[in-house]
Structure 1
């Protein structure tokens, strides 16, 4: 056996072999049907890549690969597409980068959607009667 192989077998952190610390118990996620899949969406918190997985009961779990933002209600809770911008609604949208270059290496980008302003009839002011005016 070589010296490198012997060094790799040493326990450098002092924990006994095959023992998991109490706070890090291994749990089996039996509800998940598949592993994590990459989706073409960016996180609204850090613009990182969003991961998704489906459960047996039909729910979709989403998670950011960078900052760890998490939602069990679907992708829209983590993605920029689901971010509301006041009365304008959902203004942002995620899209795949058509030309990845060294200056723009991200695979998923976020842009502002074209929002058509809805014209409404202007409200008439309510006149306030006061004898001094």
Structure 2
């Protein structure tokens, strides 16, 4: 590993900044929020979901990080936090 950070397809639930990863460490490139283990600890996918019990997976939440299909000057973020129901509707579920 080079020691650099990788860009993920997740957005920070605190400030909506992009989440970076290095091994099992996840960090917001904007506000500096950081967690270890799984990205859902600080991203929008984990918003409103309690942390999992040791050895268990985090349950699915009501929000997901997704590519922003309507990027513009008013909404320039490449990744947005959207309700899970929006993603299901757009995929015909």
Aligned counterparts, 1:1-133, within 5 A: 33-34=1-2, 35-54=4-23, 60-84=24-48, 90-114=61-85
Larger RCO (CA under 8 A, 6+ residues apart): 2
Q: What TM-score do the two structures reach when normalised by structure 2?
A: 0.71
Structure 1 vs Structure 2 CA RMSD: 2.2
Higher strand share: 2
Distance 1:53 1:83, change over 3 A: same
Deviation sequence 1:9-32 (CA, Å, 0-9, x none): xxxxxxxxxxxxxxxxxxxxxxxx
Report the CA distance between 1:85 and its aligned residue: 5.0
Q: What TM-score do the two structures reach when normalised by structure 1?
A: 0.52
Report the CA distance between 1:105 and its aligned residue: 1.0
Q: What are structure 2's unaligned runs of at least 5 residues?
A: 51-59, 87-93
Report the CA distance between 1:84 and its aligned residue: 2.5
- Give the greater-gyration-radius structure (CA): 1
Alignment length, in residue pairs? 77
